[in-house]
Chain A
Amino acid sequence: MNALRSTVKELLGSGAIDVFVGYEKGTRLPRPLLAASADEADKLIFDETCTGNLAVYLTRKDLVGGKKAGVAASWYAMRSICRLLDENQLQEGAVKVFGLTPEGDLKPFDTLADLKQHVQETPPPPKPVEDEWVREIDAMPAAERWKFWTGELSKCFKCYACRAACPMCYCTKCIVEVNRPQWLQPWAATMSNVEWQLNRVMHMAGRCADCGACGAACPLGLPVHIIAHKMAKLVAQSFGEPTDKGSVLSTFNPNDEENFIL
């Protein structure tokens, strides 16, 4: 904790960064803190309970636009940051990433190449709960899956917390806000809620870091992150793990194999 605070103060003091996106103590769980002064840096914490994906703030122009930012990152946030870099949403030199070692010590990444290498070499933290959800839902007959998902998603009231919490949802104008053509009905109703989630997850295909921030953000506790988790599995099964050579849906391989096209 102290190592983080003193490092951040040093970086802020020397002008190496203008703001540090980290965590502070929250009401129930740690919450995000954008620290720009030594006083604020003194509130920073960073341990294994800090799981929210802070990469979401790095594309917020009103907060970090034109600034150099430091960020405390979980493994999944690191993967998000790598993908944002691949999509030219972040600039090398404008972001300094800090992770935690398995022992809980601060682990700075000097270059983004180091970060990428780390993400590639470290296996993702396991997701046993999410895996179990997918297994259970896959095992249902199709009619039951339909009942399950329309039942859950009919409750959605379209607050778009899932979108707001997602680091990869950085569009300034989302598909739900486009009305020529109006792909999605903007009000909350079962089918338009299902369509919204289908769109969200399709747009994230191969880009999603599978961090689960969408599900964690849902105020109604709907398991929307499970759809994203399933998509991550589909991508890996169909095309292998995503690489930095373009996202899966903007690239192709003539030898892609499917079994359903006549």
Chain B
Amino acid sequence: MSAEFEPKILAFVCNWCTYAGADLTGTSRIKYASNVKIIRFPCTGRIDFMLLLKAFAGGSDGVIVSGCHPNDCHYTSGNFHARRRWMLFRGLLDFLGIDVRRIRFSWVSAAEGAKWAEVVNQTVADVRALGPYSEYQKAAEFVAGNEDVLLKEQEVAQ
């Protein structure tokens, strides 16, 4: 199966719940897909929407955003703010045709080691089925001055 596409997944998680949850997954010796790279944030409220776009531009095929369940935020309301932001951002991305199926949002508490494994496995399986996010990467790679790309862009759409 060496030819099978292995998606690159970046996970933005909060320090207090999901990061600890992922830790528990490990200490519980639950096996899960190794495609994910975890980046720890103080809170989901800190996860700027641009980070998701940067992840895609940098070669991620999928993204996970995860933090404390509602009412469990270490800072009381960071996840409530984040939830509002994702509600609008997700709708906006969808309107622009960016593939929102590649972004998985979840609440994973420090006690939910098994849920984390499930979220990751599910995301990896889904993104694997979708294939590499090459449309986005191609658009993001554009550095004009690259003659071919420049000319293509100037070309009349047929």
Q: B5 near A: Cβ within 8 Å?
A: no
Cα A239 to Cα B87 with chains together (Å): 10
Q: Which residue of A lies closest to B81 (CB)?
A: A252
Q: Which residues of B contact A234 (CB under 8 A)?
A: 87-88, 91-92
Contact yes or no, B87 A258, CB < 8 A:
yes
Within 8 A of B (CB), among A136-181: 137-138, 140, 142-151, 154
Contact yes or no, B88 A148, CB < 8 A:
no
Chain B 71-100: CB-based contact to A (< 8 A → 1; otherwise 0): 100000100110111111111111111111
Cα A45 to Cα B37 with chains together (Å): 61
Q: B153 near A: Cβ within 8 Å?
A: yes
Q: Which residue of A lies closest to B99 (CB)?
A: A142
Cα A230 to Cα B92 with chains together (Å): 8
Q: Which residues of A contact B49 (CB under 8 A)?
A: 198, 202
Contact yes or no, B140 A199, CB < 8 A:
no
Cα A260 to Cα B83 with chains together (Å): 10
Q: A149-B96, A191-B140 are in contact. Are A261 and B50 (CB under 8 A)?
A: no
Within 8 A of A (CB), among B130-158: 135-136, 139-140, 142-144, 153, 157
Contact yes or no, B95 A145, CB < 8 A:
yes
Cα A15 to Cα B135 with chains together (Å): 60
Interface of A is mostly: helix
Contact yes or no, A252 B84, CB < 8 A:
yes
Q: Which residues of A contact B95 (CB under 8 A)?
A: 134, 137-138, 145, 227, 230
Cα A188 to Cα B144 with chains together (Å): 8
Q: B121 near A: Cβ within 8 Å?
A: no
Interface of B is mostly: helix
Contact of A256 among B84, B94, B107, B142 (CB under 8 A): B84
Chain B 12-56: CB-based contact to A (< 8 A → 1; otherwise 0): 000000000000000000000000000000000000111001000
Contact yes or no, B83 A258, CB < 8 A:
yes
Q: Which residues of A contact B114 (CB under 8 A)?
A: none
Q: A198-B53, A198-B92, A235-B88 are in contact. Are A252 and B77 (CB under 8 A)?
A: yes
Contact of B88 among A151, A199, A205, A261 (CB under 8 A): A205
Q: A187-B144, A248-B84 are in contact. Are A143 and B97 (CB under 8 A)?
A: yes
Q: How many residues on chain A are close to B (CB under 8 Å)?
A: 49
Shortest B117–chain A CB gap in Å is 13
Q: How many residues on chain B are close to A (CB under 8 Å)?
A: 42
Contact yes or no, A261 B83, CB < 8 A:
yes
Chain A 228-261: CB-based contact to B (< 8 A → 1; otherwise 0): 0011001100110000000011111110101011
Shortest B37–chain A CB gap in Å is 19
Q: Which residues of A contact B71 (CB under 8 A)?
A: 254
Contact yes or no, A190 B88, CB < 8 A:
no
Q: A138-B95, A235-B88, A252-B84 are in contact. Are A191 and B104 (CB under 8 A)?
A: no
Q: Which residues of B contact A137 (CB under 8 A)?
A: 95
Contact yes or no, B96 A146, CB < 8 A:
yes
Q: Which residues of B contact A134 (CB under 8 A)?
A: 95
Q: A78 near B: Cβ within 8 Å?
A: no
Which of B49, B50, B106 neighbours the largest number of chain A CB atoms within 10 Å of its CB?
B50
Q: Which residue of B lies closest to A155 (CB)?
A: B153
Q: Which residues of A contact B87 (CB under 8 A)?
A: 234, 238, 256, 258
Given contacts A191-B140, A195-B53, A252-B80, 13 further A-B contacts (CB under 8 A): A142-B99, A143-B97, A145-B94, A145-B96, A146-B99, A149-B97, A190-B139, A198-B92, A234-B92, A235-B88, A248-B88, A252-B77, A262-B104
Which residues does A use to contact B, with CB under 8 Å?
Answer: 134, 137-138, 140, 142-151, 154, 183-184, 187-191, 194-195, 197-199, 201-202, 205, 227, 230-231, 234-235, 238-239, 248-254, 256, 258, 260-262
